[in-house]
Chain A
């Protein structure tokens, strides 16, 4: 099976599904939902087969395919996946069916076409897979930009309060970053001898000044996408206004494109510049961890709160990447996966709460656990996973990032650890105000709050909970895949891990 063109098929399949769903008759929304769900399951099955045929000890890039596209500019449809991309592809394949299932009734509350909502989700899946599978800088850029369009319509057409404002802000922020990247992409193309092939470009020597400018062009786009402080202001608006399913994909996957881009493009293509800018990037990461966590504590809107927690988590990922150790790097990649699972779950659960209550304000809840105990339990679990409780998957990644950073940069690691305490504060306080304490009498009057999780919703949350617990105790299958890719990335920038030592004794003993 290893010769099967997994990546191109995976990219195209959701698009075909989207076309099928979009042309289903508008008055048969149930059919559209079923087709979309079945299609995303098909993609999941294919991804699992791909995961199994990936050889963790083999080449860095596998499943490579290349077809000519615009020979005049040296552009080709080149797909290839390393361990990092593979993990992200799996995350997409797992999340999309769950999101479709979770958004079963979301589109009906708007006056828009239901099939189009699900078609847009599938288009989004196509572009997300493409962006992680591309091994051609031009192709990556194409997916990076096109990805905005379905998300824009998902937020703008199906979102909640202030959806127009949020959609436009999301689009313009991303486009600004994208256009800076376009300038850098063209620059890279010119200095790289008119090729877009990632592997060829990673061999090119670039003069220091040019390299720094090109790094900045790429980094800015990724920092806006991720988002890092101070480019984060669009995320709470977009996350707050998007329908819960789309928000889960936005924060769970779309934003990872930023951190993935830094790992795949900034570090290997511009190693010297990456090292030069690393202190600045670390500073942004640390500020993001503390600042976003503090803001999260003060939020009264559930979806905005979850968005702010994500910004804090992206700070962790940023720190992990720019610490330049294998441990921290592996932690960062693992964090990308775990954050997708944990925050995806949190967004979906919060969405279930909001759709029952008809409000996303924390102050409209209170004691909800007495009415919907199972839902409250799942929310509590998602919250604990989000604050990286030992035994849940995010703990491992956060821990790896912190110890990996500690070996090279103690102050950063120490400040970042503060983020854990703040995470406990915002999660536990949120849970307390929504599901614990005395029952808010207004809740009993809302019909929706008397229904606990139904079967469909249980099917949505169960796999995520299982994965979070499983990876919390046994992350080896994932780390086995990630480690070689991160190791190779560290080799690209010429950093080796500091030798382990116990105080100064080893060196003294050596003397």
Chain B
């Protein structure tokens, strides 16, 4: 009988993951043991401390370049950079999630199981405190994302995908107001997400089959084996192509790339706005982290085969996002389509097969995450008696009512439009430069053309806010409490700093931009 050998695990290197998952479990205990009135404070503090601790561990192991836990986890430059990005952005999202000053009781439902639109539901919307299970759920999701960007084999990746997706499905359903919309969003996200996971899993199976039969190597789904198999496997390349396509579907779904984007506007609109911000920032980082690793590590040698297809997806994504954003009348849906278009730009970065391309993509993810979280932070503030006023017509004249917040939002919109001196411009440059260098001029042209289209909806919002007169129904902007203010200011400042002085983060990204195999 062969002896079962335990894989060696570098606990220090994977400690960020352990901290987040451990805190999530602790959070479940807090729900059971701590009195109700203390839970909110305890949970929020616990989650923030955990994120801080995990971030500290990421910083401390900044020079780590290893593959650990068997072949399951790769702790290398991109992993650490993206983990750090996820943690920083998640901390901002937690500030938004934890805010109870803007809406009495917070943005979350008090009792999720109450029938929507019933008398009970109206009562809970009036101001009973939201449920605090959102914190362990968020912490689980963060933990899953940290594994997702570190996963070094497809099965670990699949498990991480589920670990961060399931809490997100639940979180989407927990909006305090417009319960039906929120539940519909969660249902849609869950069903489509489950499909996408199934595609992914099927892809894993096909790839496993493809790797079998190389002399001197056992079959497997870790990236080193797949990488070797792409060159040497005697199996039919159909297995490889079909497997790659199915994997891509699963990942592109999470990244919200066309034609797998249809869930995005509905989910972004229905989900509680802090959760929307969390998804737009952190899920995007995680999804693109995985895409980068799968296509630049495992399938690097097949790039002649996937580049045209992914390029077409990128162009389609940019077009769909930009064109449909023009027609939107709801600010959350507009930001959703903008996020789709941004997924397209990020795909251009994924297809730039160089260190600069990888660094540029990572820079873009961070810059976009800060801006989009700040944007959703502003959305939470514009409200009337029925909660957030998300219809664009309601934003008319906002610049006259609340010039400060309108100015901040204008700045973020200019960043999305790619005006210089904002991170939106530097990040576009960071992606288009390497892409052009890599000979993908057509993607850059498409990116530039769609940027023009996309500028129009952003500008329309600016016109609404500043050049229109405020009407009867123009809502007031709440003066936010400390938590939302902090998140908003961090986002806006980061957008400015990364636009004016991007060199430090670019250096960091460039130093981290190398995968280990």
Q: Say whether A associates with B.
A: yes
How far in angstroms is the closest Cβ of chain B from A335?
Answer: 29
Determine if A157 is an interface residue (Cβ-Cβ < 8 Å). Answer: yes
A72 CA to B427 CA in the complex, in Å? Answer: 13
Q: A71-B503, A149-B414, A179-B448 in contact; A156/B436 too (CB < 8 A)?
A: no
Contacting B at CB under 8 A, from A184-198, are 186-187, 189-190
How far in angstroms is the closest Cβ of chain A from B463?
Answer: 6
Chain B residues, CB < 8 A from A164:
463, 467-468
How far in angstroms is the closest Cβ of chain A from B364?
Answer: 14
Q: What does DSSP make chain B's interface, helix, strand, loop or mixed?
A: helix
Chain B residues, CB < 8 A from A182:
418, 428-429, 432, 448
Chain B residues, CB < 8 A from A141:
420
CB closest residue in chain A, given B433: A186
Chain B residues, CB < 8 A from A156:
463, 466-467
Q: A183-B444, A183-B445 in contact; A72/B459 too (CB < 8 A)?
A: no
How far in angstroms is the closest Cβ of chain B from A213?
Answer: 9
Contacting B at CB under 8 A, from A147-161, are 148-149, 153, 156-157
Determine if B506 is an interface residue (Cβ-Cβ < 8 Å). Answer: yes
Encoded as 1 (CB less than 8 Å from any B CB) or 0, chain A from 114 to 156 comes to 0000000000000000000000000001100110110001001
Judge whether B503 and A70 touch: CB under 8 Å.
yes
Judge whether A187 and B436 touch: CB under 8 Å.
yes
Residue from B418, B433, B451, B510 within 8 A of A189 (CB atoms): B433
Chain A residues, CB < 8 A from B428:
182
Q: A157-B467, A172-B455, A186-B436 in contact; A142/B420 too (CB < 8 A)?
A: yes
Determine if A204 is an interface residue (Cβ-Cβ < 8 Å). Answer: no
Determine if A176 is an interface residue (Cβ-Cβ < 8 Å). Answer: yes
Judge whether B463 and A186 touch: CB under 8 Å.
no
Determine if B475 is an interface residue (Cβ-Cβ < 8 Å). Answer: no
Determine if B452 is an interface residue (Cβ-Cβ < 8 Å). Answer: yes
Determine if B116 is an interface residue (Cβ-Cβ < 8 Å). Answer: no
Determine if A168 is an interface residue (Cβ-Cβ < 8 Å). Answer: yes
The residue in A164, A167, A190 that gathers the most chain B C-beta atoms within 10 A of its C-beta is A190
Determine if A339 is an interface residue (Cβ-Cβ < 8 Å). Answer: no
Determine if A171 is an interface residue (Cβ-Cβ < 8 Å). Answer: yes
Determine if B305 is an interface residue (Cβ-Cβ < 8 Å). Answer: no
Judge whether B466 and A157 touch: CB under 8 Å.
yes
Determine if B232 is an interface residue (Cβ-Cβ < 8 Å). Answer: no
Determine if B202 is an interface residue (Cβ-Cβ < 8 Å). Answer: no
Determine if A163 is an interface residue (Cβ-Cβ < 8 Å). Answer: yes
Q: A145-B420, A153-B466 in contact; A190/B459 too (CB < 8 A)?
A: no
Chain A residues, CB < 8 A from B418:
179, 182
Judge whether A146 and B437 touch: CB under 8 Å.
no
How far in angstroms is the closest Cβ of chain B from A231?
Answer: 14
Judge whether B448 and A183 touch: CB under 8 Å.
yes
A148 CA to B420 CA in the complex, in Å? Answer: 11
The residue in B419, B420, B425, B456 that gathers the most chain A C-beta atoms within 10 A of its C-beta is B420
Judge whether B429 and A190 touch: CB under 8 Å.
no
Judge whether B467 and A183 touch: CB under 8 Å.
no
Question: How large, as a class, is the contact surface on chain A?
Answer: 20 to 34
Determine if A61 is an interface residue (Cβ-Cβ < 8 Å). Answer: no
A179 CA to B345 CA in the complex, in Å? Answer: 15
CB closest residue in chain A, given B445: A183
A156 CA to B463 CA in the complex, in Å? Answer: 8
A70 CA to B467 CA in the complex, in Å? Answer: 35
Chain B residues, CB < 8 A from A172:
452, 455-456, 459
Contacting A at CB under 8 A, from B422-450, are 425-426, 428-429, 432-433, 436-437, 441, 444-445, 448-449
Determine if A280 is an interface residue (Cβ-Cβ < 8 Å). Answer: no
Determine if A424 is an interface residue (Cβ-Cβ < 8 Å). Answer: no
How far in angstroms is the closest Cβ of chain B from A173?
Answer: 10
Chain A residues, CB < 8 A from B448:
179-180, 182-183
Determine if A73 is an interface residue (Cβ-Cβ < 8 Å). Answer: yes
Determine if A175 is an interface residue (Cβ-Cβ < 8 Å). Answer: yes
Q: A146-B421, A172-B456, A183-B444 in contact; A70/B506 too (CB < 8 A)?
A: yes
Judge whether A146 and B419 touch: CB under 8 Å.
yes
A182 CA to B424 CA in the complex, in Å? Answer: 13
Residue from A153, A168, A171, A190 within 8 A of B433 (CB atoms): A190
Residue from B420, B436, B463 within 8 A of A146 (CB atoms): B420
Chain B residues, CB < 8 A from A153:
466
Judge whether B463 and A167 touch: CB under 8 Å.
yes
The residue in B436, B441, B467, B506 that gathers the most chain A C-beta atoms within 10 A of its C-beta is B467
Chain B residues, CB < 8 A from A167:
463, 467
Q: A73-B429, A145-B420, A149-B419 in contact; A175/B455 too (CB < 8 A)?
A: yes
Chain B residues, CB < 8 A from A168:
459-460, 463
Count, chain B residues at interface, CB 8 A: 35
A169 CA to B501 CA in the complex, in Å? Answer: 31
Determine if B203 is an interface residue (Cβ-Cβ < 8 Å). Answer: no
Chain A residues, CB < 8 A from B451:
179
Judge whether B503 and A186 touch: CB under 8 Å.
no
Determine if B349 is an interface residue (Cβ-Cβ < 8 Å). Answer: no
A441 CA to B82 CA in the complex, in Å? Answer: 74
Judge whether A175 and B417 touch: CB under 8 Å.
yes
How far in angstroms is the closest Cβ of chain B from A478?
Answer: 32
A182 CA to B433 CA in the complex, in Å? Answer: 10
How far in angstroms is the closest Cβ of chain A from B210?
Answer: 36
A183 CA to B449 CA in the complex, in Å? Answer: 10
Determine if B502 is an interface residue (Cβ-Cβ < 8 Å). Answer: yes
Chain B residues, CB < 8 A from A72:
502-503, 506-507, 510
How far in angstroms is the closest Cβ of chain B from A72?
Answer: 4
A157 CA to B426 CA in the complex, in Å? Answer: 28
Chain A residues, CB < 8 A from B460:
168
Chain B residues, CB < 8 A from A180:
448
Judge whether B436 and A145 touch: CB under 8 Å.
no
Chain B residues, CB < 8 A from A73:
429, 433, 506
CB closest residue in chain B, given A142: B420
How far in angstroms is the closest Cβ of chain B from A11?
Answer: 13
Chain A residues, CB < 8 A from B463:
156, 164, 167-168
CB closest residue in chain B, given A141: B420
Judge whether B429 and A186 touch: CB under 8 Å.
yes
How far in angstroms is the closest Cβ of chain B from A261?
Answer: 16
CB closest residue in chain B, given A184: B448
Contacting B at CB under 8 A, from A66-105, are 69-73
Chain B residues, CB < 8 A from A149:
414, 419
A300 CA to B395 CA in the complex, in Å? Answer: 36
Judge whether A70 and B455 touch: CB under 8 Å.
no
How far in angstroms is the closest Cβ of chain A from B271?
Answer: 31
Judge whether B444 and A171 touch: CB under 8 Å.
no
CB closest residue in chain A, given B460: A168
CB closest residue in chain A, given B419: A145
CB closest residue in chain B, given A163: B467
Chain B residues, CB < 8 A from A69:
501, 503
How far in angstroms is the closest Cβ of chain B from A334?
Answer: 31
Encoded as 1 (CB less than 8 Å from any B CB) or 0, chain A from 252 to 272 comes to 000000000000000000000
How far in angstroms is the closest Cβ of chain A from B446?
Answer: 10
Chain A residues, CB < 8 A from B425:
142, 145
A72 CA to B429 CA in the complex, in Å? Answer: 12
A189 CA to B466 CA in the complex, in Å? Answer: 37
Judge whether B467 and A186 touch: CB under 8 Å.
no
How far in angstroms is the closest Cβ of chain A from B357?
Answer: 13
Chain A residues, CB < 8 A from B452:
172, 175-176, 179
Return 27 A-B CB contacts under 8 Å, by A number: A69-B503, A70-B426, A70-B501, A70-B506, A72-B502, A72-B507, A73-B429, A141-B420, A142-B425, A156-B466, A164-B467, A167-B467, A168-B460, A168-B463, A172-B456, A175-B417, A176-B452, A179-B448, A179-B449, A179-B452, A182-B428, A182-B429, A182-B432, A183-B432, A183-B444, A187-B436, A190-B433
Ranked 6 nearest A-B pairs via Cβ: A142-B420, A72-B506, A183-B448, A156-B467, A164-B467, A179-B448
Given contacts A142-B425, A146-B420, A183-B448, 20 further A-B contacts (CB under 8 A): A69-B503, A70-B426, A70-B502, A71-B503, A73-B433, A145-B419, A145-B425, A148-B419, A149-B414, A156-B463, A164-B463, A164-B467, A164-B468, A168-B459, A171-B455, A171-B459, A175-B417, A182-B418, A182-B429, A186-B429
